[in-house]
Amino acid sequence: MVVSPLSLIIPITTKSSGMQPPNLDAAWLTRGPRESNAILKYLADRYDTEKKLTVTDEKEKADLDTWLFYQASHQGPTFGNCQWFMFYHPERIPSAILRFQNEIKRIFGVLNDVLSKKEWLVGNKCTIADLAFIKYNDYAIHHLLPTNFNVEREFPHLAAWHAKLMARPAVQYAINHMLELDVGRERQHVNGVTHSEFARTATGIARRGIAAQAAKDEILVNV
């Protein structure tokens, strides 16, 4: 998947995937789903015709939706608030940071408990429910929790699940692609590169990403 100039996720395909490239018209690009899990469901429903990343059993479909809602309502806001108070809030508030770090551990505990009994969240296979948790979990492990926190020791089942997800070739491709494309504020506290410095030295796909961001801003201004 790649991000269009309107910051919508567009699926890309490879020969090994066996999936046909989507025919996305202008209406989809301007009015398609915006929320991440809504995008995941839309793409899976429309293009995953073999149900490789979804399920068909009615109970399992409900379980899949439950995890997507859990990710959006628990993981997203909690991890995002922790990031805000750690890196962007104008004053340091240790109690706020500690609160959200503890909430991250609580959410890790929920996932760890479920994954102690099965390999994947739904349907005995990797689905979009599992994929939805990857980015924030990886970010929390590396940047939000204390340096002495050991996820393998504290939450071994979650750690094993996350490692399997991270090892998937498509996940590695997406992460490497977004690292090249990243022109957001996350870059500064992760590797010390400011937005202006990155923009000044960017080449290739990163340069195109900056152009796409500028195009999106212009579109929003003219709406």
pLDDT of residue 187: 57
Name the nearest CA neighbour of 178 among 138, 140, 118, 151: 138
pLDDT tens, position by position, 200-221: 665 555 555 545 454 444 433 3
Give pLDDT tens digits for 4-46: 333 344 444 444 444 444 555 555 556 667 788 998 998 899 8
Overall pTM > 0.85:
no
DSSP state of 88: I
pLDDT by residue for the chain (223 residues), tens only, comes to 443 333 344 444 444 444 444 555 555 556 667 788 998 998 899 889 999 999 999 999 999 999 999 999 999 999 999 998 998 888 999 999 999 999 999 999 999 999 999 999 999 999 999 999 999 999 999 989 998 999 999 999 999 999 999 999 999 888 877 766 654 555 555 655 655 565 666 555 555 554 545 444 443 333 3
What does the CA dihedral 147, 83, 175, 36 come to, rounded to 10 degrees? Answer: 140
